[in-house]
Amino acid sequence: MIKDFNFYAPTRVVFGRNAEGKIGELVKSCNAGKVLVHYGGGSAERSGLLNVVRKQLREAGIDFIELGGVVPNPLLSKVYEGIELCRREKVDFILAVGGGSVIDSSKAIGYGVPYEGDAWDFWDGKATPQQCLPIGAVLTIPAAGSEMSSSSVITKDEGLVKRGITSDLCRCRFAVMNPERTYTLPPYQTAAGATDIMMHTMERYFTRYNEMTLTDAISEALLRTVKDAALAVMERPEDYRLRAQIMWASSLAHNDLTECGADRDFGTHRLEHELSALFGVTHGAGLAALWPSWARYVKDRHLARFVQFAVNVMGVENDFAHPDETAEKGIRAIEDFYRRIGMPTNIRELLGGRVITDEEIEVMVDKCSRGGTITVGSLEELRAEDMRRIYQMARA
């Protein structure tokens, strides 16, 4: 089956060594009156990037204020702070300088400013965004793909409830990407980013819609390229060629290109949100810790797809007589890949040796299934009992 689809990726991408020199003119082209520069911790300051941004805005004659302090797994409390600040200062454009957390926080502020109710309503399913302030991104961490995606994931401080919503309204007007800015990323962040990038495409590859061969071929090309580049960049962190592949892949993996004619599963993502909400782990690493268990839990009912992945992405030889073994070899191959780039393959490795308890699993199952009222995933619709089983398998 091929699913009817919409494709809408309006973000203007400016990519390359000289990309940052365009920030001023890009913001200006969006008719920004007053800009909020939104960022995370100290690295954007230390690297000099924030000063480049400030200089660009000043030289373009653009009025701006700043709000830093976005944390990984960005918090609703910071979003509220941003909404208040933007209203007070009559901000009409948000410039996100950072990775997915900063961009997602910017999107959430963008939704919240024109909304009269509590911004959390959107993530709580009580309201649908009708407007969003325009947003531009200067990307520093290739991972989340938020610079071209329609999604925004926010964590509510109280109870650590982590949820995502999607809307075309929040698609960035532009995204500035300079691969050189990623040379100094810690290896763990680079690896977790590559894992997240690959997962965004794998979440769309493992679906019931398996007849759009062009999308399959593009997805496999992207997965192979990121896998090879991630392995190599561990040895050569300042190789522009490798960094460029990973950075551009982060956008293409999550701008819906790899979903055309297919579907999105995102079951592993939903299971992971509970892990990173509860334990504060890096999202990409959490995905690596869960995916092999998810894969083994569902693979027997979708063997052909897992064989295709093993052969076309992981380079496993196709043992036609034993598709189950070929599929398993593909999963083992990605576990081997995760180990080589320093990613975990189960939750114990993710948490540095700590084994999660049955009680912790129940907390995650309860939150992920919203008290047993919803399922997640589409290849297989996972109910609470499936979630529990996958967490148990991944516990190791």
- Whole-number Cα distances in Å, 21 to 17, 18, 107: 9, 6, 24
To its own copies, the closest distance from the beta carbon of 1 in angstroms equals 9
Whether the Cβ atoms of residue 140 and residue 46 lie closer than 8 Å to each other: no
Give SS3 for 321: coil
| 71, 221, 234, 393: residue in contact with its own copies (rule CB under 8 A) | 221
Binders of its own copies in range 14-53 (CB under 8 A) = 14-19
C-beta closer to its own copies: residue 225 or 318: 225
To its own copies, the closest distance from the beta carbon of 253 in angstroms equals 10
Tokens of 128: 């649908």
The length of the chain in residues reads: 396
To its own copies, the closest distance from the beta carbon of 304 in angstroms equals 16
Q: Is 220 in the site for its own copies (CB under 8 A)?
A: yes
Strands in 68-218 per DSSP E? 93-98, 135-139, 151-156, 161-166, 174-177
Q: Is 236 in the site for its own copies (CB under 8 A)?
A: no
Q: Nearest CA to 276 among 104, 160, 122, 106?
A: 160
Give SS3 for 138: strand
Q: Is 214 in the site for its own copies (CB under 8 A)?
A: yes
C-beta closer to its own copies: residue 80 or 240: 240
Q: Is 130 in the site for its own copies (CB under 8 A)?
A: no
| Mutual angle of helices 187-205 and 303-312, in 10-degree steps | 140
| 35, 75, 191, 244: residue in contact with its own copies (rule CB under 8 A) | 244
Site string for its own copies, 290-329 (x = CB under 8 A): ----------------------------------------
Q: Is 54 in the site for its own copies (CB under 8 A)?
A: no
| Interatomic CA distance for residues 189 and 342, integer angstroms | 10
Residues 6+ apart with CB under 8 A from 122: 111, 115, 128, 129, 165
Q: Is 9 in the site for its own copies (CB under 8 A)?
A: yes
Q: Is 59 in the site for its own copies (CB under 8 A)?
A: no
C-beta closer to its own copies: residue 229 or 387: 229
Q: Is 217 in the site for its own copies (CB under 8 A)?
A: yes
Give SS3 for 186: coil
Contact footprint for its own copies (CB under 8 A) = 2-10, 12-19, 211-215, 217-218, 220-222, 224-226, 228-229, 240-241, 244-245, 248-249, 252, 257, 260-261
